[in-house]
A and B are shown apart, each in its own frame.
Chain A
């Protein structure tokens, strides 16, 4: 059995060793905010927090997340930075299809908390690992800059 602590709740699950953390969160726990895109670490849609820092959920074998705190977007509902980001993303039309948004928000929150969202150039470089195919990024960069203020 794999014991996972997700958003403060403990779950005991029978998993295969090859199962990814992102896949188990979606398919077994119904936590579908975490998106699965490329499944090899390139697109960033599956970003989530492991012990408070963002990682690619598709690249973590689920068994290796045992003993660490997993936080998904569902667990960041009341996070003050995430509240500001959600409002700013809405105001700046920073999403269309929304597929990249969960990963984008997790990455943007980390940039803000590390003080790396002080200019458009810095935000663009900091979000270079997050692929969005709809927006052209302008709205996303504007939203992150606003939320960082």
Chain B
């Protein structure tokens, strides 16, 4: 239960990051990666902590969207960021992730980058119509979460590229959000997960967790998954859709 030897490479320089990551893994809050290392499911030669990169914990409202730096922790989101009602929705999702000591270090960007198919943020961000801001050196590209999440534990991240931030459109007045998580205990990984965003006059955005990761599911779910069908219905009802 002790990780294989690795080297920590500290940097506060976006331009130096791609070269440092060539034979190393990026380290966010470490709340998923450090357990994987302890169990020796991963044995990287080096880790590059991202937390010293400028702007990684920034929160701002710009261009009609809430910008949340990838290094912002679940606990900070739980305690309230951004404008109401987004503030309450994000707090609700964050408060259901693991336990407070884990939420104090675990980050939004780390969770999205891992894209564990049973994790909360990919599904919630997908429902909310969020985008991931990806950065490699001084180059940026922006991908909708449905393009970013390519499969379970798989994303569109290229070598040397990391998530700099997530942007979430500020919802129109009257928009509702429904969230439903089924887990064996508080804070446990989900057995089923559904999030629904319902803006007035628009079709609801229905996102669910699937074995292949977070996905939009406007159609009725397959009949072999009773949990999913039930949760999807509850989330739709909670969104008033």
Contacts and interface: CB of A to CB of B under 8 A. Distances in A.
Given A53-B104, A56-B102, A107-B101, A61 B1 contact: no
A18 B3 contact: yes
Contacts of A81: none
Nearest to A47: B101
Given A107-B100, A107-B101, A129-B102, A17 B1 contact: no
A17 B105 contact: no
Contacts of B12: none
A38 interface: yes
B98 interface: yes
B49 interface: yes
Interface residues of A, number: 32
Given A18-B4, A39-B2, A53 B34 contact: no
B99 interface: yes
A69 interface: no
Contacts of A128: 99, 185-187
Nearest to B73: A53
A126 B100 contact: yes
Interface string B1-38: 11111111000000000000000000000110011011
B58 to A, nearest CB: 19
A54 B5 contact: no
Contacts of B39: 40
B187 A17 contact: no
B75 interface: yes
Contacts of A63: 8
B30 A60 contact: yes
A125 interface: yes
Nearest to A53: B104
A59 B30 contact: yes
A60 B78 CA distance: 21
Contacts of B51: 64
A139 interface: no
A41 B100 contact: no
Contact of B100 (A20, A40, A110): A110
B30 A54 contact: no
A133 B215 CA distance: 38
A61 B30 contact: yes
Interface string A33-77: 000001111101001001001111011110110000000000000
A100 B51 CA distance: 30
A55 B98 CA distance: 12
B105 A55 contact: yes
Contacts of A87: none
A54 B49 contact: no
A16 interface: yes
Interface in B131-165: none
7 contacts: A40-B1, A40-B39, A53-B104, A56-B102, A107-B101, A110-B101, A125-B186
Given A18-B5, A61-B8, A107-B100, 11 more contacts: A18-B3, A39-B1, A40-B35, A41-B34, A50-B104, A59-B31, A61-B34, A106-B101, A111-B100, A128-B185, A130-B99
Interface of A: 16-18, 20, 23, 38-42, 44, 47, 50, 53-56, 58-61, 63-64, 106-107, 110-111, 125-126, 128-130
